[in-house]
Amino acid sequence: GHSLLTLPCSVVLWRRSLSCCMLPFILNGSQLYTYSVCNVGEHEQDNWLRTTFIQRRPSASRVFVELQFIVRDCNSFDGSSLTCKETFNLFSSESDADIGTSFRKGQFKKVATIAPDEITSRNELRINRETRVVESLSRKGFYLAFQDIGACMALLSVRVYYKTCPATIKSLAAFPETVAGGGVNQALREVAGACVENAVSEESPRIYCTMDGEWVVPVGQCQCKPGYEAVNDTCRDCQPGFFKAFVSNDACELCPVNTKLLSSGALFCPCAEDFYRAPDDPTTGPCSGLPSAPRELVATTTQLAAGKLQLSWSPPEDTGGRSDISYSVECRRCEGTACQPCGEKVRLEPASSGLVDTRVAVSELEPHLNYTFTVEAHSGVSLFASQGTPRSNRPPSTSTLTTALHYTGRSLYLGVIVVVVVVVVVVELLYYDDNLDVTTYTVLILEKSSVQISDLSPGTAYLFRVQALSPEGSPGGSSIEDEFETLTEVPPLCLSCICIVLSIMSIYSYSSPEQLKPLKTYVDPHTYEDPNMAILKFASEIHPSHVTKQKVIGAGEFGEVYRGILKAPGRKEGAVAIKTLKPGYSEKQRQDFLSEASIMGQFSHQNIIRLEGVVTKFKHAMIVTEYMENGALDKYLKDRDGEMPSFQLVGMMHGIAAGMKYLSDMSYVHRDLAARNILVNNNLECKVSDFGLSRVLEDDPEGTYTTSGGKIPIRWTAPEAIAYRKFTSASDVWSFGIVMWEVMAFGERPYWDMSNCEVMKAINEAFRLPAPMDCPSAVYQLMLQCWLQDRSKRPRFPDIVSLLDKLLRSPESLKAIADFDPRVSIRLPSTSGSDGLPFRSVSEWLESIKMSQYSENFTCAGVVTMDQVLQMKNVDIKNIGVRLPGHLKRIAYSILGLKDQTSTLSVFAV
C-alpha cells in the first residue's frame, strides 16, 4: 500500500557551485543524472536544494521520504578532511500554496541528519538508501529541502510516498482503501465497513488501519443471510438440493430425507409428497410419512367370565421414520347388525388413546355382544392424515379385530382401585392463535402416582389439577392445583403428585437465567465495625483437624503457604493451598491476614481463586483455598519460554480477562494485577488471586513507596494511580495490558532492568513497551489500547473479553505478527560508547539473553568468540542443537541485533 507522489525537478539549487548541479555518471552501464555537490576544500558551506511544491492528499498526514545517495569518504581528499563532512540534512516546510522560487531558509524545519551507511572510497561506488518520515502534515502541500554543509555527495533519487491500507474484504465486510494512521495520537484509524451483498451483521463492521498500512482487529462480523453461504468473500446462493435456514457462517446443508429439492437459494426444503413435519419438528430436519397399521392384533380372554380381555398388537412395520408412535383403540359393539360406539360402557385401560405400550386391558364387557376393536397407529404427523389427496397405495394405519363375547352369568367385582385424575386445562397463549379464548380440558385417568405428559405446546399456560377418585369414579379427598407456562422449546414434563411443585419451579428457573442473575457488588470488609463479623459472613469455618499440611510451597507476607488436604465432613476430599499466620502476630495483623478471606469469599467465578474456608477459632489462623498445581503464572511461563503457541497464551489471557470482568462487574478494583498474582492449575486455567486489604501496601515485593504515600508496583500501575492514587477498573485495565505483555514475553520483566524512575519518565513521554517476539499484531494493538494515557479511552473488561474471544474463535486473526525490534525487545547491555562488541564472551552474551543452557552446545561446536557468533547463520544455530523454534529465534534475533549496533537505538517508539 505505498502511493507515490512525484518529485519534479528542483527549483532552488545548491547555492554555490551551481556549475555541477546535474551531473550524469555511468553506473552498471546506464547513465544516471544526479544532483551533486563537492566543495570539500572550502569553509562554511551552506548549500540548499529544494523540491517543487508537493501537493498532499488531505488524509495523508504522514509521508515517507526515501533517498538514494552517494557520499565520498573524506579521507580520500588529501589535506581537506578538516572541513569535509560526510552527512547532509533533510528539511521540510508546509505551505497552502506554491510559493514559486521565493525561498527562505527560516521556513524550513529539520527532519533529520542523513548519514551514509556506506561511504564511497576512491575506487568503489556505494549507493545508500535511507527512509525518513515527515509527520503531522496538515496544510495543502509541502516542500522538501536538502542542506549540504560541506560534503562531497550526489543525490540519485527521492521517492515520496504515504502508506495506505488497501481496499479489502474481511469476514464478509468490505472496507475502502484508507490512508494509514498519522502519528502519535492517531496510531490506529478506525474505518467503518459494509457487509457484502446478501450478508448482514448485528454490529456494524469496523476495523483499524495501523500506521504501517496493516488492517487489524476487525470488529462486528458479517454473516450470510438465510439461503446464502460464504464462498471466497461473497455470499452465494445455496446450490440446488441444499438449504440454509439462519443467518450464520455455516455452509448450506444438504436437504434432509423425504424433502423436495428446490432450485438454488433455499431457506428450507419442503416435505416431499405424502411426507410431513410435525408441528414440533424443526424445519431443518427430515420429513416423515404416516405410520402403517399395527400388526398382529389379538385378543386374549383369560378372564372372560369377568367381562375382561386383553388386546395386544405389534408396532407397525413402517413407522414413517418416527419414534413417537402411539396408539388409540376404538370399541364398537354390535347387536345383530346394529353397531354403535361402546362409549362409557366399556372400560379401556390404561386409556383409549395416547397408548405407548402395545396393549390395552378391556373390562366391563357385556355378554352376548359382538365387539369390534380398531387400533390405530399415530405419530407426530398423523394430524396430516386427512389432508391432501390420499394416496392410493398408502397403507391404512388401522387394524380391526372383531371378537364376540358369549358368556352367561355375572361376575362380582370386588376390590379397590385408587384412581388419580389429572385435569389439564389448556389456555392457548400463542399470539398467532385465532382462538385466543379457547380452553381445552384434557382428562387423564391414572392408576399410578405419576405421569409423563409430552406433546405440550410451547409458550402455553397450563393448569394442572390432581384429583383422587373413588373406584366408582366420583371425586373424593382433596385436590392439588398448579399453573405453569411452557418454554418456547418444550421438554417432556414429568409430573408426579409429590414433586409437582418442585418441577414447576425448576421450569421457571430454566426460562430466563439472565434475568435471575443478581446484581452483586463487593462489600469492603472495612465497612464492618467488627472485622470478625465480615469473616463470619463471607467465609465458612473449618475445623483444623480436617486440614492436613503436606509441603511448603511458598512464602506469603504473614507466613508460609502449604499444599495440603482438606477432608471435611460433607465435602469431597481434595488438595488445597493453606495460608498460615506466623506466631507472634498482633490483632491488627490477624485481621489484615483474614481480610483476604472475607474478600475472596464474596467471589464465585471460574477465574477467581476459590476460598474453601478459614480457621479462625483456633490459635493458628489459616486461609484455605483451592490448590493450583502449576503455581504462579510468571514462573510458569518463564519455565516454558518460547514453548507455547500464541493461541494457548491468548486463551490464558482470556481467562484472566474473564476473572477481571467479574471483579469489575462487582465494582472491585484489584490494584495489584500482575502475572505473579495469577495462579495456574492443571488444566492451564488462570485464576486471579491476592486480595488482601493491605497487600499492595505491604505484601508485594514490587511495591515501591511513592511521593503520594503508599506502596505501588510501579511498572504494573497506570500513571493516574501512581500520580494521585486514582485506582479504578480502568487502572486495572492498564495492569491487564502489562500482564498481556508478560504472558506474550513468557514472564519477562516489564521494562527489563530500567529503574522505576526511568519507567515513569518513559511512560510520561508517551513511550510504551514494544511488542514481544512473535506477538500477534491484534494482541499488541490491544495492549497499546490498555495503555492509553486517557483512562476513559481504554477498553473495558467486557470489551477485552469479547475481543479476545473473537481472536480465539478465528485463529486466522492471530497470524499477523507485530513488528519486532530485537535491539529493543531483547535488551542488550549498553555498549558504553565503544565500537567493539558489548560482550566479552559467548557465555556472557548467552546469559544476557537468558539462553545460558546452550553454553555447552556453543563450546562443543567450537564457537568460542563473539566474532564466530556473528558469522553464524540460522542453520548453524540449529545444527549445534538449538531445536525449539522460540529459542532459535531468540538467538538468531540477538545476533541480528548485535550486527546492527551501529545505528542508534530507537527505544520504545509508540
Q: Does 627 contact ligand AMP by CB under 6 A? A: yes
Helix 729-744 × helix 777-786 angle, to 10°: 150
Residue with Cβ nearer ligand AMP (376 or 702) = 702
State the nearest-atom distance from the C-beta of 636 to ligand AMP, in Å: 10
Q: Are 227 and 265 in contact (CB under 8 A)?
A: yes
Residue 697 interacts with ligand AMP (CB under 6 A): yes or no: no
In the range 632-661, which residues lie near ligand AMP by CB under 6 A?
632
Compute the least distance from the CB of residue 642 to ligand AMP, in Å.
22
Residues 6+ apart with CB under 8 A from 762: 751, 754, 908
SS3 of residue 468 by DSSP: strand
Alpha helices in 616-703 (DSSP H): 633-638, 646-665
Q: How far is the CB of 620 from ligand AMP (least distance, A)?
A: 16
Q: How far is the CB of 679 from ligand AMP (least distance, A)?
A: 5
Residue among 341, 367, 475, 554 that touches ligand AMP (CB under 6 A):
554
- Judged by beta carbon, residue 607 or residue 625, the one nearer ligand AMP is 625
Choices 349-357, 483-491, 553-561, 771-779; region in contact with ligand AMP by CB under 6 A: 553-561
The correct pick among 226, 556, 659, 750 for binding ligand AMP (CB under 6 A) is 556
Using the rule CB under 6 A, is 631 a contact of ligand AMP?
Answer: yes
The site for ligand AMP, by CB under 6 A, has a size of 15
Please pick, among 148, 592, 672, 821, the residue that the annotation labels catalytic: 672
Amino acid identity for residue 862 in this structure = G
Q: Does the annotation place 335 within a ligand binding site?
A: no
Q: Tell whether 561 is in a known binding site.
A: yes
508, HSE (Cβ side, Cα atoms, 13 Å): 10
| By the rule CB under 6 A, 679 interacts with ligand AMP | yes
Cell 505551505 found at:
95
Active site (annotated) includes residue 641: no
Give the count of beta carbons closer than 10 Å to the beta carbon of residue 253: 15
CB of 632 to ligand AMP, least distance (A): 4
Strands (E) in 301-438, as ranges, are 309-314, 326-335, 338-341, 347-349, 359-363, 369-378, 398-405, 419-427
Q: Which amino acid is at 77?
A: F
472/235 Cα distance (integer angstroms): 68
**In whole angstroms, what is the distance from residue 417 CA to residue 431 CA?**
42
CB 849 within 8 A of CB 894: yes
Contact call for residue 690 and ligand AMP (CB under 6 A): yes
Residue with smaller CB distance to ligand AMP, 292 or 677: 677
**Residue 560 annotated as binding?**
yes
CB 606 to ligand AMP: min, Å:
15
Residue 617 CB, shortest distance to ligand AMP, in Å, is: 22
Least Å distance, CB 680 to ligand AMP, is 9
| Minimum distance of ligand AMP from residue 604's CB (angstroms) | 16
Q: Is position 555 annotated in a ligand binding site?
A: yes
Q: Between 777-786 and 797-809, two packed helices, what is the crossing angle to 10 degrees? A: 180
Residues 569-598 that bind ligand AMP (CB under 6 A): 577
Would you say 607 and 559 are in contact if contact means Cβ atoms under 8 Å apart? no
Is 629 annotated in some ligand binding site? no
For the bound state, the minimum distance from the C-beta of residue 663 to ligand AMP, rounded and expressed in Å, comes to 16
Q: Which stretch binds ligand AMP (CB under 6 A): 191-199, 550-558, 762-770, 838-846?
A: 550-558
- x-marked contacts with ligand AMP along 508-547 as a string, rule CB under 6 A: ----------------------------------------
CB of 395 or CB of 631, closer to ligand AMP: 631
Is 385 annotated in some ligand binding site? no
Q: According to the binding rule CB under 6 A, does residue 480 interact with ligand AMP?
A: no
The CA-to-CA distance between both ends of the chain, in Å, stands at 21
- Contact assessment for residue 898 and residue 828, using Cβ atoms and an 8 Å cutoff: yes
Which residue number has the CB closest to ligand AMP? 554
- In the complex with ligand AMP, the residue whose CB is nearer, 553 or 762, is 553
DSSP secondary structure of 245-308:
-SSBSSPPEEP-TTBPPPSSSBSS-PBPTT-B--TTS-TTS--BPPP---EEEEEE-TTGGGT-
Which member of 444, 561, 669, 684 binds ligand AMP (CB under 6 A)? 561
Distance (Å, whole) CA 378 – CA 290: 8
Which has the closest alpha carbon to 782: 191, 164, 187, 179?
187
Cis upstream peptide for 350 (omega within 30°): yes
Distance CA 401, CA 372 (A): 6
Q: Which is nearer to ligand AMP, 294 or 556 (CB)?
A: 556
Span of 13-21, 304-312, 525-533, 554-562 interacting with ligand AMP by CB under 6 A: 554-562
- Let me know how many helices (H) and strands (E) the chain has, helices first: 17, 47
DSSP secondary structure of 574-628: EEEEEEE--SS--HHHHHHHHHHHHHHTT---TTBPPEEEEE-SSSS-EEEEE--
Residue with smaller CB distance to ligand AMP, 465 or 605: 605
Figure out which of the listed residues 178, 259, 379, 625 binds ligand AMP, where binding follows CB under 6 A: 625
Cα 690 to the center of its chain, rounded Å = 25
553 binds ligand AMP (CB under 6 A): yes
User: 881: annotated binding-site residue?
Assistant: no
Distance CA 804, CA 658 (A): 10
- Single out the residue of 628, 656, 673, 745 in contact with ligand AMP (rule: CB under 6 A): 628
- Closest CB to ligand AMP among residues 276, 627: 627
Stretch that binds ligand AMP, among 112-120, 179-187, 198-206, 552-560 (CB under 6 A): 552-560
Which residues form the interface with ligand AMP (CB under 6 A)?
Answer: 553-554, 556, 561, 577, 609, 625-628, 631-632, 679, 689-690
Annotated binding site for ATP: 553-561, 579
Binding region: 553-561, 579
Q: Which residues are catalytic?
A: 672
